[in-house]
């Protein structure tokens, strides 16, 4: 009788734990205390790195398990704090979009351009942020590059991913959920 009761209790506990894991999916916390970066990833996502390089710069690769699609997070610690108004920061973020288009064009993306009306100013973790989409073709295939830049006085953080245009809308929803968890100094 006792062993049957124990099995019943164990089975009930196992069912409760399974139900809880489905109702409250596990997230993974990524933290880089040296660069003051923290974010949460959904269950199954993995990170590679960070690779540190240059003058206080790093790149972290975040990989989605099902699609194996990567999004990269570039982080730069600014050598001099950039203490400016919110309006000035928004203008700086918007100028950065033009710079990125010129940079990609110089890298050889001949038809690389900003998607019309894709710039969206917002905030992430109380910091100024800008998201945008650029379009280009690669081997005859319509592609996009999705960006979100988050800025503080001390840190420049940029999420970016290149993927086929037809997969973008669904991927954007999943990535934006990660971006919203970003904390920087």
Query: How much is the pTM?
Result: 0.85
Q: What's the domain range around 41?
A: 27-179
Residue 147 in domain: yes
Residue 16 in domain: no
Residue 135 in domain: yes
Can you read off the two tokens belonging to residue 167? Answer: 């997969």
- Angle 133-136-142 (CA atoms, 0-180°, nearest 5)? 100
CATH code, 39: 3.40.1000.10
Residue 21 in domain: no
Q: What is the pLDDT of residues 49-69, one digit of tens each?
A: 999 999 899 999 999 999 999
The 3-state DSSP class for residue 59 equals strand
State the total domains in the chain: 1
Q: Are 113 and 134 in contact (CB under 8 A)?
A: yes
Q: Report in angstroms the alpha-carbon separations of 133 from 52, 143, 155, 158.
A: 26, 10, 22, 13
Residue 9 in domain: no
Residue 17 in domain: no
Residue 184 in domain: no
Note the Cα 98 to chain centre separation in Å: 20
Q: What is the pLDDT of residues 18-57, one digit of tens each?
A: 443 444 456 799 999 999 999 999 999 999 999 999 989 9
Residue 74 in domain: yes
């Amino acid at each position: 009788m006792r062993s049957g009761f124990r099995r019943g209790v164990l089975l009930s506990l196992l069912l409760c734990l399974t139900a809880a894991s489905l109702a409250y999916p596990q997230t993974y916390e990524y933290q880089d205390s040296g660069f003051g970066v923290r974010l949460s990833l959904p269950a199954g996502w993995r990170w590679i790195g960070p690779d540190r390089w240059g003058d206080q710069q790093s790149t972290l690769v975040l990989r989605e398990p099902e699609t194996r699609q990567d999004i990269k997070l570039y982080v730069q610690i600014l050598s001099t704090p950039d203490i400016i108004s919110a309006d000035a920061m928004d203008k700086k973020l918007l100028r950065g979009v033009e710079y990125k288009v010129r940079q990609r064009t110089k890298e050889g993306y001949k038809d690389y351009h900003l998607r019309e009306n894709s710039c969206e100013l917002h905030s992430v973790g109380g910091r100024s942020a800008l998201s945008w989409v650029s379009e280009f073709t690669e081997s005859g295939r319509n592609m996009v590059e999705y960006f979100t830049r988050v800025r503080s006085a001390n840190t420049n953080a940029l999420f970016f991913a290149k993927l086929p245009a037809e997969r973008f809308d669904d991927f954007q929803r999943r990535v934006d959920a990660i971006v919203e968890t970003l904390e920087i100094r």
